[in-house]
Amino acid sequence: MSDRTAALVGIAGCILFWVSLFLFGAMRPEYSQQTKAVSELGVFGAPHSLLWNLIGFIAPGLCLALSGGAIARSVERTQRRSVSYWLLVASGLGFAATGIIPAEMRDGSPALDSPYTIGHIIMTFISAVPWIVATFLMVSRMKRNVDWRIVSNVNLALGFAAIACFGLRVTTILPGVAQRISFAVYFAWFCIMSIHLLRVQRSAHRAAA
């Protein structure tokens, strides 16, 4: 897959997630974007849970894995699979796996003793932590790469924002809002970097023409 295609796939994955989130949420009158977790759309027994897990988690996650790998290769100017490459691929695959392993709820609350819920939470961390580590690993490489220097500060800011998001759950912000802010930071990074990857590819084609 070319870097241009991977970038377009990454952008599509970001759009697909957000459109699906609000569409599936609107299909359930009792579902509140302010108070309900995103995962509740895909828990066992939820209406349209299988479709949500496929469209809302699995498909976007695979898209991010593809775009993340291409972004890392472009930043590091190598086709070698670096640590950053594998971290970003793992992040996307972890996000996809949250749809493969849906959580389980009992009496309106997450069943924390359920192996499904435990697996879902683990996949959530596999999605988040490798991505945060990758953003910091690529800071110096972005600054050394003239094509990526312009977005190095954005990369760093979103990395710090992601760390800050871990503390949102203990604030007075509604839990659903706090989680969506975290998702917004995560997807903003992939969307911005995928768009920039397109620009890098266009510049390379012009230079070669």
The DSSP-derived string for 110-155 is: E-TTSHHHHHHHHHHHHHHHHHHHHHHHTHHHHHH-TTTGGGHHHH
Residue 202's pLDDT is 84
Q: Angle, to 10 degrees, between the axis of helix 59-76 and the axis of helix 3-26?
A: 150
Note the pLDDT of residue 173. 73
Q: What pLDDT score was predicted for residue 79?
A: 72
In this prediction, the residues of the chain whose per-residue pLDDT falls under 70 are 169-172, 207-209
DSSP state string for the chain = --HHHHHHHHHHHHHHHHHHHHHHHHT-TT--TTTS-GGGGSSTT-TTHHHHIIIIIIHHHHHHHHHHHHHHHHHHT-SS--HHHHHHHHHHHHHHHHHHS---EETTEE-TTSHHHHHHHHHHHHHHHHHHHHHHHTHHHHHH-TTTGGGHHHHHHHHHHHHHHTTGGGSSS-HHHHHHHHHHHHHHHHHHHHHHHHHHHHHHHHHH-
Supply the pLDDT for residue 208.
66
Mean pLDDT, the chain, whole residue set: 91
**What per-residue confidence (pLDDT) applies to 170?**
62
Closest CA to 162 of 140, 138, 137, 179: 179
